[in-house]
Amino acid sequence: RVAERVRAMARLRLQQPLWHLLLRSGFSLLLHGLGSKRRLLSDFAHSALTDGAVVVINGWLPSVTAHKILLAAASAITGRALPKTTSGAELLSSVQQDA
């Protein structure tokens, strides 16, 4: 099974130039299947996505919510800490004002 995992990860790594092209073209990526893809994606982010920001969301944590993700993203974009009680509309407005 270890050899199978190694081969599967090697096949996925060969697809990284395509992933980069898809992301640059405005598409998203979805990786699925058994086993963690965390290291693979981390390696991809560090090697190929050097011309912009990378957001890492550990979605398996029970404390992660869509609101917390948006709050963190908006805070990063605006460069200031936004209150946890900020509504989705207020987050969007804050980001648009800074754009």
**CB-based contact 43:11 (threshold 8 Å):** no
**CB-based contact 33:53 (threshold 8 Å):** no
pLDDT digits (tens, 9 = 90+) for 15-49: 999 999 999 999 988 888 878 888 999 999 999 88
What pTM value is reported for the model? Answer: 0.64
Return the structure tokens found at 29. 């990526």
pLDDT at 99: 66
pLDDT at 15: 95
Return the structure tokens found at 4. 């199978």
Instruction: List the domain boundaries for the chain.
Output: 1-52, 55-99
CA distance linking residue 48 with residue 71, whole number of Å: 26
pLDDT digits (tens, 9 = 90+) for 59-97: 788 888 989 988 988 888 888 889 999 998 998 888 888
